[in-house]
Amino acid sequence: MIISQLFTKKCVAVVVVVTSFVSVFNWNSAFGNPQTVDYGAGASVGPIAKVALGQLSVKGRSPMTGYSRDMFGSPWSDVDGNGCDQRDDALWRASLGHAVRADGCTVTRATVIDVYTGKTITYIRGGDYANGLDIDHVVALGDAWSSGIGYKSSVVRLHLANDPLNLLAVDPSSNRQKGDSNAASWLPPRTAYRCSYVARQIAVKRKYALSITPSERDAMARILQSCPLVRIPAGGLPPLSAAAVKNVSTPSGTGSEVTTPSGSAGGGQDPRFSSCAKAKAAGYGPYVSGRDVEYTWYRDGDNDGTVCE
């Protein structure tokens, strides 16, 4: 009887010790459980980030010749066809679906926990700087250009600039400090988010077949040492075809007036012109929002959902 009681007490003690150890030891933090990472771009995940990093092409930076924001199409284009622009969609996602959207699209107010700083920001549309949010391209457009996006079609560039996988609503000062930097020269000040940030950058560069520099690779690898099992996110826009992301022989923006996109099998898009006037003069248009990808290439001055009419 005494032996039985002693055995029971020891078992209880062991259980208490193990329970205490589990409560103190954060398994997720130590081993990078991918389910704890909030990417904000869909719940699905891809391969382990460290493995995906090793699959990226490593080379020097491409020249910035021809680079401008205009080379990525109309800002915040409704590429997913839900009737709302990508800026408002990004604000909605960042608020975890609790933002105020008076007309069903335009976000007028939202409370967001900024992943870059950890600060809680109350966004008010048209408010002052302190109540603002920037939409950051996780892989900055300038970095994407120097990583080879300029050698790809206009459809690929449009998708990269508006893919939810590559968009985060963040603190304006952090976004502007980052600029066009890659992971070698800028990381979020909130260290707890760096694994997620690097994994997301890898996901974007993998999805759009972009390269990384040696210093960028090394910086990413250092971050991933602390989260070796973290996986890259696999959300955002559906992947384009392999033919669409294939490089062309010369970079865009170096003098060609018309770009023929190759974003879909069969080449169903019209040629792209520098303005609606030139498109119409050549016999193209009109284009309707949510139906024609060409709509996103031109400015809808009267906001009637149709361009080049």
Amino acid identity of residue 49, one-letter, is A
Does position 132 have pLDDT exceeding 50, yes or no?
Answer: yes
Instruction: Give the angle 236-176-63 at the CA atoms, nearest 5°.
Output: 75
pLDDT in tens, 43-80: 588 999 999 999 999 999 988 989 999 999 999 999 98
The whole-number pLDDT of residue 287 equals: 78
Q: Which among 272, 155, 22, 156 has a CA at the least distance from the CA of 147?
A: 156
pLDDT in tens, 142-168: 999 999 999 998 999 999 999 999 999
CA distances from 33 to 98, 174, 205, 226 (A): 27, 27, 22, 12
Instruction: Using the structure block, give the residue that is written with the tokens 């759009």.
Output: 208
The pTM of this model reads 0.70
* Tokens (6 digits) for 139: 């892989």
pLDDT in tens, 211-228: 999 999 999 999 999 999
Identify the helix (H) or strand (E) that includes residue 194.
helix 194-207
CB 294 within 8 A of CB 269: yes
106-120, 185-199, 236-250, 295-309: which range is least confident on average?
236-250
CA distances from 200 to 30, 45, 205, 215 (A): 19, 10, 9, 18
The whole-number pLDDT of residue 71 equals: 94
